[in-house]
């Protein structure tokens, strides 16, 4: 998820994140061999595929992928990134709202939304896979998410505000859903046409 722009009528309060003990692993790109991960741009077909659960046998792959995902997200820059956005089929999400401009990374493996509020909230969203495109999206105002951390421990996180929107946005990616899929067909098509035009101009 790309950080939201400041537009009248949309809440911009960013609550604190969930601090993990792997901060030293994600402050810069892995040294040496691996290039920066490429973030896929819509309508890349991989963005519409449903991700598969991470298994214990995937631990090494996840350990290698997580710092590279954070590096790509920070460089973009963004506040959330899902594995399908970098071509991986694993159910893996990284998030960092950077409250107070300090990195507080969250790693969510096999995240699952287990509770949502009846109250809804509309917030402007953007996406690293739809660069430069923004739209108001209505979602539950509060959520509770169950997931595994980078050590495989079971965790729950309750969130509201920007963090709630970001978690829902990134978990959507794991199911092949983009934020524009929450819009009317007219608005969705307008954004996709605008994105395609901007990408063509960029490639000139």
* 170 classed as catalytic: yes
Q: Which of 124, 125, 150, 170 is catalytic?
A: 170
Whether residue 174 contacts residue 91, with contact meaning beta carbons closer than 8 Å, is answered with: yes
**Residue 150 class from Cβ within 10 Å (0-12 exposed, 13-18 middle, 19+ buried)?**
buried
Which residue shows structure tokens 């990374």?
A: 105
The contacts of residue 33 (CB under 8 Å, 6+ apart) are none
What positions carry a catalytic annotation? 170
């Amino acid at each position: 998820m790309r950080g939201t722009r400041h537009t009248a009528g949309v809440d911009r309060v960013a609550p604190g994140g969930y601090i993990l003990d792997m901060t030293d692993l994600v402050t810069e790109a892995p040294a040496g061999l691996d290039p920066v991960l490429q973030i896929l741009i819509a309508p890349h077909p991989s963005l519409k595929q449903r991700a598969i659960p991470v298994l214990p046998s995937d631990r090494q792959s996840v350990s290698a992928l997580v710092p590279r995902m954070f590096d790509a997200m920070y460089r973009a820059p963004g506040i959330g990134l899902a594995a399908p956005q970098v071509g991986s089929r694993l159910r893996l999400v990284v998030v960092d709202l950077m409250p107070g401009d300090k990195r507080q990374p969250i790693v969510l493996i096999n995240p699952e939304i287990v509770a949502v509020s009846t109250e809804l909230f509309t917030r402007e969203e953007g996406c690293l896979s739809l660069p430069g495109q923004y739209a108001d999206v209505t979602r539950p105002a509060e959520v509770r998410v169950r997931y595994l951390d980078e050590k495989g421990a079971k965790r729950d996180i309750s969130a509201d505000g920007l963090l709630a929107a970001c978690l829902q946005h990134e978990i959507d990616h794991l199911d092949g859903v983009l934020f524009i899929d929450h819009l009317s067909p007219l608005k969705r098509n307008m954004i996709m046409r605008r994105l395609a035009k901007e990408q063509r101009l960029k490639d000139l």
